[in-house]
Structure 1
Amino acid sequence: MTFSRFVAIGDSQTEGMCDGDDAAGYRGWADRLAEHLAADYPDLQYANLAIRGKNTRKTRDEQLERAIALEPDLVAAPLGMNDVIGRTDFAALHADLTYIYGRLAETGATVVISTFPDVARTIPFGRRIEDRLLWLNSAMHGFAEKHENFVLVDLYTAPALIDLRSWSRDRLHASPSGHERFAAGAAYALGLPGSTPDWGYPLVPDGHPNPLIRTLRDASWLVEFFTPWFIRKVRGRSLGDGRSPKRPELTPVIPPGVAAD
């Protein structure tokens, strides 16, 4: 299996939020995977159409056909987490995922999808959406079984991703370490040279967490991150409003540490 045209679609995780910033640019798991691929396929071209805040319907309407037009042989499309958090209707979500993944399957490209980490272990209100998350993860397993060209990265069973060190301060986006874990998981699922099965192993313990400190941090998180998100949702706004993809066209991948000609 070789790859020459890699296209990523989706939301903030695939855009790379919290692995970089608006000034320096965002990297993220998909960029990291592209860099891994480029080490084996130097002619690899890569585009990333993902934009923060996009749900599955908006990805379908705004990104899908644009991605297919780039004629990729590899697509990254882990979708649905914004719908779970935003409490989108299950039937509508499943219909949108079925359409998106059906169209991608028709292209013959290898498609990377994923389950999602156990947020009940990382964010204060996680248990309120746990049933929805489990539904989505079950659906992802179903799509991977249905389409022979799909590759599933099982983030839900990775112990490293219930460690808060794998998450940024907002706990909704991976830290650079978490993005690297996701990329390593995708590389292993694709069978890339140099990939290993230990990508999701637990992090080295950093002492015994203090329950009081965790409670205080949870309270601070609710004020600093959850409240602004809830206000935006009530107002029908998104962090992605008015934004364009960071990498809209297929261009060569330059691995870190390698100077451009």
Structure 2
Amino acid sequence: MPTIGLNALSIFIGDTRVCEQLQLTMDSGQNWAILGPNGSGKTTLLMTLAGLLPAQKGCILLDNQPLSSLSGRDRARRLGILFQGSDDAFPSTVLNSVMMGRHPHINPWRWENQDDLDLATASLATVGLTGFEQRQLDTLSGGERRRVAIACLLTQDPPVCLLDEPTNHLDMRHQLDTLAHFAVRSQQPGHLNIMVLHDVNLALCYCSHAMLLYGDGIVEHGPITEVINTTRLEKLYQCPIRRLQDNNGTAYLPM
């Protein structure tokens, strides 16, 4: 069962203290939201959790092993990341792009097999892109390309998914479909998701836990219904917040 442990983790960007001496364990079965204002270091924290940026102090453990001790291939088999944006380095079809997710699992001396192709096809179906397999990436809309990137991550099929603003470029239906899929995925044995979100209400609907980044080194974290409240959100976003509640649940709106 995957776990990510943060042991006295400190991350700084110029004058911004993303986190300071952070002690936290994120376990299988959890779906985490990272929330905070612009410039608070949400993406930097996610990149550090992926091992792509260094922390100033402390360490990150993946399944009780130092993340820095893992080879790139081993890390990619166990942890995958959806970046905030994507630049296509070369022309490609949708299917070839999604199949890139299988590379950590394929030895250099073999090609993709039918199981790899089936997983890629299923991932495209999950994001609603069945029939797009032979489309060129440069013919797609921004939202369609975002869904290709999500399908690539699903094809990689890592136990831990790190997602930087997964709803970027997506219309309302596909935002809900994407977040619902990852919420269900986190409840399957052996899966953990950590995602950067800007919409507090979507986080409340789909995430089990939350981290609030204030940019001063303080990080509040825990089950999302315990962490999110009007006082904290007003402090976090520096604006008046109104809490609404009915039989369908709770929502927070800026005033």
**Given the two structures, how large is their TM-score scaled by the length of structure 1?**
0.33
Larger Rg: 2
Higher normalized strand content (fraction of residues): 2
Q: More helix by proportion, 1 or 2?
A: 1
| TM-score (structure 2 length as normaliser) | 0.33
